[in-house]
Amino acid sequence: MKRKRVVVLGATGSIGESALKVARDIPERVEIVAMAANSNAEKLAAAANELRPESVCLVDKGKIDILERALAYQPRIFCGEEGLCEIACLTSADMVLVAIVGTAGLRPALAAIEAGKDLAVASKEILVMAGEIVMREAREKGVHVLPVDSEHNAIFQCLDGRASEIRRIILTASGGPFREMPRPKFDSITSEQALKHPTWNMGPKITIDSATLFNKGLEMIEAHWLFGVEMKRVEVVIHPQSIVHSLVEFADGSTLAQLSYSDMCFPIQYAITWPERVANTLPPLDFSKLAKLEFFTPRYEDFPALSLARRAGETGGTLPAVMNAANEIAVAAFLDGQVRFPSIWQIVERTMNEHASVAHADLEAILAADQWAREVATRIAKTSHR
Ligand code: NAD
Ligand code: MG
């Protein structure tokens, strides 16, 4: 089996770092042919100097000279958003790992599909925003979309090609740091508290999404598109230990689950080496030390993100893109200290309420809805109380 040649978009982030770990762990199976980052030129150069991809890309054009000075060899250098699309189409690449926070990965992902590359998708936001388009384009081009998000990777492993017989998909959620906090205390939650995830170590945006449960809401819509399953068959269960990464109940009542420690190297490696399983140095589960595995029903009333996401996913059209964009604005406002924690879902809900969804929207309509939602959510955030 030859090495998989991978382009990593978002190489300096949490997922990007884990992807580079996988490449170090099984170098005979993975070759990083290109890496991209937004603005951290030094960190990108350090990773490139070690793994020597043939191309690197920095979106922030103002920092290209820092990148050039820090590089110890001469890769091809790309820059700007157009650079992301260019390295996503490199002839030397088999697969593009999209691990950019937010929606900036959408155009490069579509460019990669157009160029016939398989996609490994960590950026759930692009599937929430434009899942119908991404999956249709991938089908038409005959390329694979491999889920990196741990829950979806777990479902993908459980399904193993049996998609038509699914009765329910059950996404597990850790519940975040406020799983047991009484609702009246939510108003005083600080960003420091919200940024402390109990089981996963991730970038700031997804960590806040895990605290509000918007992360799980986004993942419900992500599952709907990735596996072609109606929203009503996608459920959520709270599992504080983050060992069972998700479950699939089949038509005959049997349920399969995937288990491992909470380390993103597991799903990233499987997405890259699929359909093969490759020996690595990751620790297998030690059942003698797993005291218990618990499962609870979510507190739907106290965490409205789940119901908002269900509504967005069931309505479809441009509403998921609006929910996603409003959430990005609201999370940024919370991290800036402009709004309180519960304002995050209040801003999202008010933005969704103002939107008239366009069914089966094309890319242009989706991008317009995304932009509209950012403006509306910014206005609402300004009038929200601190
Ligand atoms: P992060 O904040 O740690 O890293 C973000 C990466 O994206 C960085 O490399 C940054 O340079 C790059 N980036 C940011 N804006 C960009 C832009 N405009 N253009 C190009 N590159 C840009 O984020 P993360 O935690 O690694 O998450 C990345 C994605 O993976 C998110 O969509 C997240 O929801 C998803 N995800 C993450 C985890 C996790 O464990 N961290 C798990 C599941 C899914
Ligand atoms: Mg996840």
State which ligand 1 atom lies nearest to the alpha carbon of 215.
Answer: 34
Same domain, 61 and 159: no
Distance 124 CA to ligand 1 centre (A): 10
Number of domains in the chain: 3
Residues 6+ apart with CB under 8 A from 95: 4, 5, 6, 7, 117, 118, 119, 120, 146, 272
**Tens digit of pLDDT at every position of the chain (386 positions):** 789 999 999 999 999 999 999 999 999 999 999 999 999 999 999 999 999 999 999 999 999 999 999 999 999 999 999 999 999 999 999 999 999 999 999 999 999 999 999 999 999 999 999 999 999 999 999 999 999 999 999 999 999 877 678 999 999 999 999 999 999 999 999 999 999 988 888 999 999 999 999 999 999 999 999 999 999 999 999 999 999 999 999 999 999 999 999 999 999 999 999 999 999 999 999 999 998 999 999 999 999 999 999 999 999 999 999 999 999 999 999 999 999 999 999 999 999 999 999 998 999 999 999 999 999 999 999 998 77
Same domain, 185 and 116: no
State which ligand 1 atom lies nearest to the alpha carbon of 39.
Answer: 11
Q: Candidates 15, 59, 78: which one to mutate for ligand 1, based on the most atoms within 8 Å of Cβ?
A: 15
Q: Candidates 125, 206, 264: which one to mutate for ligand 1, based on the most atoms within 8 Å of Cβ?
A: 206
Work out the end-to-end distance of the chain between its first and last CA atoms, rounded to an integer number of angstroms.
57
Same domain, 193 and 154: yes
Q: Atom 27 in ligand 1: which residue has the minimum CA distance?
A: 101
pTM of the model: 0.97
Same domain, 158 and 224: yes
DSSP string, 88-120: TT-TT-SEEEE--STTTTHHHHHHHHHTT-EEE
Asked if residue 305 belongs to a domain, the reply is yes
Asked if residue 38 belongs to a domain, the reply is yes
Which of 113, 131, 148 is the endpoint of a domain? 148
Asked if residue 135 belongs to a domain, the reply is yes
Same domain, 136 and 67: yes
Asked if residue 278 belongs to a domain, the reply is no
Which of 102, 122, 148 is the endpoint of a domain? 148
Same domain, 128 and 252: no
pLDDT given at position 280: 98
Which of 115, 148, 181 is the endpoint of a domain? 148
Q: Atom 2 in ligand 1: which residue has the minimum CA distance?
A: 203
- Alpha-carbon gap, residue 300 to 82, rounded angstroms: 41
Asked if residue 235 belongs to a domain, the reply is yes
State which ligand 1 atom lies nearest to the alpha carbon of 10.
Answer: 9
Same domain, 242 and 324: no
pLDDT given at position 161: 79
Q: Residues lining ligand 1, judged by CB closer than 6 Å?
A: 10-16, 37-38, 40, 59, 84, 99-101, 104, 122-125, 149, 200, 202-203, 206, 264
Same domain, 244 and 161: yes
Q: Candidates 32, 42, 43, 100: which one to mutate for ligand 1, based on the most atoms within 8 Å of Cβ?
A: 100
Distance 174 CA to ligand 2 centre (A): 10
Asked if residue 279 belongs to a domain, the reply is no
pLDDT given at position 182: 98
Same domain, 226 and 373: no
Same domain, 39 and 129: yes
Supply the CATH number for residue 59's domain.
Answer: 3.40.50.720
Domain that holds residue 203: 149-263+285-314
pLDDT given at position 163: 66
Distance 54 CA to ligand 1 centre (A): 22
Same domain, 207 and 252: yes
Distance 224 CA to ligand 2 centre (A): 14
Same domain, 216 and 96: no
Asked if residue 327 belongs to a domain, the reply is yes
Residue 210's alpha-carbon distances to 89, 190, 345, in angstroms, are: 32, 15, 13
Asked if residue 96 belongs to a domain, the reply is yes
Supply the CATH number for residue 369's domain.
Answer: 1.10.1740.10
